[in-house]
Amino acid sequence: MFSGASGGPLGTRAAASARASFYPNPVAGALTVAGGAAAGTLRLRDAAGRAVLAQAYRRGQPVDLSAVAPGRYWLQLDQEPPLPLLKR
């Protein structure tokens, strides 16, 4: 077992909880950002890479996607890697 500078065991839980995430997926109306930064910019791109939506978000607050057409998208939160999203 390895220990950190504080003498406690090293772990990866803090890093995993800092990762960007959202739910539900697939989404019909609104999605909620659950991980990553407390606030930032959400970007939605279609399968061809065209920008569909860019707006501010706050973790835990719903983001209305009801005006977005059904389909497959890539959702990116700030500088995080894009994540697949299915809009119904």
Q: What is the CATH number of the domain that holds 27?
A: 2.60.40
Structure token pair of residue 71: 């389909």
Q: Residue 29 in 3-state DSSP?
A: coil
Residue 12 included in any domain: no
List residues bridging with 22 in a β-sheet: 33
Which of the two residues, 9 and 72, has the higher pLDDT score? 72
Tens-place pLDDT, residues 44-71: 999 999 999 999 999 999 999 999 999 9
Domain count of the chain? 1
Boundaries of domain holding 25: 20-87
Residue 9: predicted pLDDT: 57
Residue 3 included in any domain: no
Residue 82 included in any domain: yes
Task: Find the DSSP H helices in the chain.
Answer: 13-18
Tens-place pLDDT, residues 14-38: 444 578 899 999 999 999 999 889 9
pTM comes to: 0.77
Residue 5 included in any domain: no
Residue 28 included in any domain: yes
Residue 41 included in any domain: yes
